[in-house]
Amino acid sequence: EADIYQTPRYLVIGTGKKITLECSQTMGHDKMYWYQQDPGMELHLIHYSYGVNSTEKGDLSSESTVSRIRTEHFPLTLESARPSHTSQYLCASSGTGVAKNIQYFGAGTRLSVL
């Protein structure tokens, strides 16, 4: 079973607040990803990382930022939350070798900005 954790699971917050969504994995995976999923819509990649100090933007533009200071940790930050940021955010990671193309997903964070 994959060991990738996201906190919080649910977050309701007011407009203008700064928030950080946490994602941690204990599998030693180099690659990590953030996806955004609006209700009834596809998941879209918003950020990914190939390893420590590597961050890239995905195919969906996002006002969020990410950092990768440690292999196991890939937090996502919104400096000033807005109602348009209301969505589900899913974190994933993938390793190397035979299973390098398999992404393991966390349970997600459902964010509501009032």
Partner 1 sequence: KQEVTQIPAALSVPEGENLVLNCSFTDSAIYNLQWFRQDPGKGLTSLLLIQSSQREQTSGRLNASLDKSSGRSTLYIAASQPGDSATYLCAVLTGANNLFFGTGTRLTVIP
The residues of the shown chain that bind partner 1, judged by CB under 8 A, are: 4, 6, 9, 31, 33, 35, 40-45, 48, 56, 58-59, 90, 92, 94, 101-108, 110
Cα–Cα distance, 96 to 31 (Å, whole number): 9
CA-CA distance, 95 to 34, in Å (whole number)?
Answer: 15
The answer to whether residues 75 and 68 touch, using CB atoms and an 8 Å cutoff, is no
Q: How far is the CB of 112 from partner 1 (least distance, A)?
A: 14
Residue 15 CB, shortest distance to partner 1, in Å, is 25
Q: Name the residue nearer to partner 1 (CB basis): 16 or 34.
A: 34
Closest CA to 92 of 101, 84, 81, 83: 101
Q: Least distance in Å: CB of 23 to partner 1?
A: 11
